[in-house]
Amino acid sequence: MNDKKRFTLRLDEEEYKELFRIKGLIGAKTNTKAIQYLISHFVELNNRYIEEINKNAALKEKYRKQDHCVENLLKAFGALKELKCLEVILPEKEHVKK
């Protein structure tokens, strides 16, 4: 006995184009195979999606902190420039004898 269920799916033009694109990405030859793939891999795909969102959020926070550090560094350089009486003395290179 066949326990498969049937249903009708109506897609607009944009949705159909996306289904066609998905078929190409996963190597499915039919719309049915593409939809079956999406259903059977939904949990895995969703977990990957959530993982990427979390990575993106972590990177945004990292770069926000870096931007803040760079801003503070530039402010410090600006403050040092304003101290016109500040004399910078660089250490001399020592001559190494062999």
Confidence at 96, pLDDT banded by 50, 70, 90: low
Contact indicator for 31, 19 with CB cutoff of 8 Å: yes
Question: 83 — alpha (psi -120 to 50), left (phi > 0) or beta?
Answer: beta
The verdict on 70 and 53 lying in the same domain is yes
95 part of a folded domain = no
Selected residue with higher pLDDT from 45 and 93: 45
The verdict on 76 and 57 lying in the same domain is yes
- In which domain, by residue range, is 55 found? 47-80
65 part of a folded domain = yes
Tokens 């949705």 sit at which residue?
15
Give the predicted TM-score (pTM) of the model.
Answer: 0.56
- What's the total number of domains in the chain? 2
94 part of a folded domain = no
59 part of a folded domain = yes
Report the sign of the C-alpha dihedral through residues 19, 23, 29, 35, in that order: negative
What distance lies between CA 41 and its chain's CA centroid?
Answer: 22
Contact indicator for 23, 34 with CB cutoff of 8 Å: yes
51 part of a folded domain = yes
